[in-house]
Amino acid sequence: MDVMTATELLPQVVPDTSGPCCPPLVRQAADPEHARDTARVFKALGDPTRLQLLSIVAAHEGGEACVCDLTEPVGLSQPTVSHHLKILVDAGLLTREQRGRWAYYSTVPAALERLADGLTAVAR
């Protein structure tokens, strides 16, 4: 009695090379401009100090904080904190309003929602 090998027992599958190699997209992929904008936001949030500052501002009542309230929690000088806050403003995550001697920073809820929506879309 001849013993058949697994290759002989299983049907030979010939790959279909006539169509695309991957399934089609099921939703719109990010266009280059959206990808650049999103990357800029992620770059701003890629620094632990900036992520902490955004979190502190968001945790304040009304999502607003004075720069004078932000230096001590992160343990950095006011100029360094202001530099980090400027990057968050440039990324569209915070707004800045000068009131007398102090600058007040507020979260931009729409920017945070877009970021959350973008992360959710990638995870699906």
CA angle, residues 85, 47, 60, in degrees to nearest 5: 50
User: What pLDDT score was predicted for residue 19?
Assistant: 65
User: What pLDDT score was predicted for residue 113?
Assistant: 86
Domains of the chain: 35-123 (1.10.10.10)
Outline where the chain has alpha helix (H): 6-9, 32-45, 48-59, 71-74, 78-90, 109-123
User: What pLDDT score was predicted for residue 43?
Assistant: 93
Regions of the chain short of the pLDDT cut 70: 1-20, 25-27, 118, 121-124
SS3 76: coil
